[in-house]
Amino acid sequence: MKRSIVCRCEDIAEEDVLQAIEEGYTDIEELRKKLRIGMGPCQGRVCLPLVAKILEKKTGEKVAQIPTPTVRPPLVPVPLGTLASEDDEQES
């Protein structure tokens, strides 16, 4: 059986989202907290629209009516090496 991946960053399949909806998680914020969708390096740019479509199909709500979480900084993922540069001088 082929798995349809919804969130590549967190390796969440469509089946995982559908199961969570069946368990009563019926908005994106709840699904985010349960499954960690939108918390990976892409910050939900790929998965949140897909999850909204799945929610629309399962709950009957229009995508425009489904509240989406606010994006938190950084808007563009920052490599860890940028924050912890090797060029920094160490204090003695």
Condensed to tens digits (0 to 9), the pLDDT of residues 29-76 reads 889 899 999 888 888 888 888 998 998 898 888 777 666 666 566 567
Q: Where are the beta strands (DSSP E) in the chain?
A: 5-7, 12-13
Residue at 89 is within a domain: no
Domain tally, the chain: 1
Long-range contacts of residues 74-80, Cβ cutoff 8 Å, at least 24 apart = 75/43, 77/41, 77/42, 77/43
Residue at 80 is within a domain: no
Residue range of the domain that includes 49:
5-71
Residue at 88 is within a domain: no
Residue at 9 is within a domain: yes
CATH number of the CATH domain containing 36? 1.10.10.1100
For residue 40, the model assigns a pLDDT of 85
Q: pTM, whole model, 2 decimals?
A: 0.67
For residue 86, the model assigns a pLDDT of 61
Residue at 76 is within a domain: no
